[in-house]
């Protein structure tokens, strides 16, 4: 049984039934603590989904962690800069009217969310490295246009599924 302290408990309670059916676990809560009970693999993925919900991702995006084998990563802005004006760095990451985040989403096929001094990324493992590199480069002060051109030049080739993943084995 896993225990998570949730900051956004109403979001989890509101979607409790959907979470239980999609993730294959039993979810209970006492105060701000959320208890997850199930087999270890389902508990781990449920923990990641609830962490993504706590971070601020929409419910449908957080569920991608379980349904499409996506990974949830968090980048701390303070780890990559010595500047004190973190508000300006967050503004550079977001862009005018959210255009920088939208362009990064289009170029990397990953989902981004900002919470205080952290950037959350949900994406497929093959796309996640480019997304992390792009965010870190913007934090360090590179122009957005340079980051976009880097991402365009280093596009990840589409992965071909040869039927090796679970559930796709048809003979």
pLDDT digits (tens, 9 = 90+) for 38-48: 898 888 888 99
**Residue 171's pLDDT is what?**
46
56, with CB counted inside 10 A (0-12, 13-18, 19+), is: middle
Contact 23, 66 (CB under 8 A): yes
89 occurs within a structural domain? yes
Please check whether residues 135 and 85 belong to one and the same domain.
yes
Q: Is 124 left (phi over 0), alpha (psi -120 to 50) or beta?
A: beta
- 51 and 77 share one domain: no
Residue with tokens 């993925």: 45
- Does residue 55 lie within any of the structural domains? yes
Comparing CA positions, the residue from 127, 5, 117 lying closest to residue 64 is 127
Spatial contact of 53 and 59, defined as CB atoms under 8 Å apart: yes
86 and 146, same domain (yes or no): yes
pTM score, two decimals?
Answer: 0.84
d(CA 53, CA 7): 9
Q: What is the pLDDT of residue 165?
A: 62
Same domain, 133 and 116: yes
Same domain, 119 and 76: yes
pLDDT tens-place string over residues 105-152: 999 999 999 998 999 999 998 899 999 999 999 999 999 999 999 999
Do 135 and 76 sit in the same domain of this protein? Answer: yes
Q: Please identify, among 14, 35, 67, the residue that sits at the C-terminal boundary of a domain.
A: 67
Q: Which domain holds residue 89?
A: 71-153
User: Got the DSSP string for 144-160?
Assistant: HHHHHHHHHHTPPPPPP
Give yes or no: residues 82 and 118 share one domain: yes
φ, ψ of residue 40 to 5 degrees: the values are -55, -40
How many structural domains does the chain have?
2
- Phi, psi at 142, each rounded to 5°: -70, 155
- 162 belongs to a structural domain: no
Flag whether 160 is in a domain. Answer: no
Give the CATH number of the domain where residue 39 resides.
3.30.1370.10
């Amino acid at each position: 049984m896993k225990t998570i302290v949730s900051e956004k408990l109403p979001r989890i309670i509101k979607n409790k039934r959907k979470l239980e059916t999609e993730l294959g676990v039993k979810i209970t809560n006492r105060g701000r603590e959320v208890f997850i009970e199930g087999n270890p693999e389902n508990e781990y993925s449920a923990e990641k989904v609830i962490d993504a919900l706590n971070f601020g991702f929409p419910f449908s995006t957080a569920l991608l962690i379980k349904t499409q084998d996506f990974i949830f990563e968090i980048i701390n802005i303070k780890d990559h800069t010595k500047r004190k004006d973190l508000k300006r760095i967050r503004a550079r990451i977001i862009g005018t009217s959210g255009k920088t985040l939208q362009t990064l989403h289009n170029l990397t096929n990953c989902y981004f969310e900002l919470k205080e001094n952290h950037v959350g990324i949900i994406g497929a493992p093959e796309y996640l490295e480019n997304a992390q590199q792009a965010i870190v480069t913007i934090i360090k002060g590179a122009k957005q246009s340079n980051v976009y051109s880097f991402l365009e030049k280093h596009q990840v080739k589409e992965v071909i599924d040869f039927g090796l993943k679970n559930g796709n084995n048809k003979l």
